[in-house]
Amino acid sequence: MDDSESVSRLEMLYFARRVAEQHLAQVQRWITAEQQRLDEQAEGDRRRPPPPEWAVERGIGTGPPPAVHVGTCDLLEAPRWVAIDRSQALAALEQGVEPCMICRPDTELGWPG
């Protein structure tokens, strides 16, 4: 191959720049998509209602509720719980509903049970 058929060094540099620009544009699209995902997640977190202070599980069928929970307990699975207030949580414990062994609402409530 003689010099007239070869690609000049300048042409190779232009080609390398085009490739780099394409890569940079792709990275910018990834950054934009990730920022949008984070913004949407933050908006969802902002709009999400706060957890209840206390909750009681719904029993299966007509049985009694299985447990009272602190509203932020990791064991609560929607839709198997109902938000309750402090007096309802204490009343449920007094009626024999078991406190969750993980989140310990009895301790949080100061219930002597």
Q: What is the pLDDT of residue 60?
A: 78
pLDDT of amino acid 6:
81
Structure confidence at residue 5 (pLDDT): 66
Q: pLDDT value at position 4?
A: 56
Tell me the mean pLDDT in the region 19-37. Answer: 98
In sign, the C-alpha dihedral spanning 80, 86, 87, 89 is: positive
Give yes or no for a cis peptide into 79 (omega within 30° of 0). Answer: yes
> Distance between the two ends of the chain, CA-based, in angstroms?
93
Portion of the chain with pLDDT greater than 90, in percent: 63
What tens digit of pLDDT does each residue of 37-85 get? 999 999 999 998 888 999 998 877 777 788 999 999 988 877 788 899 9
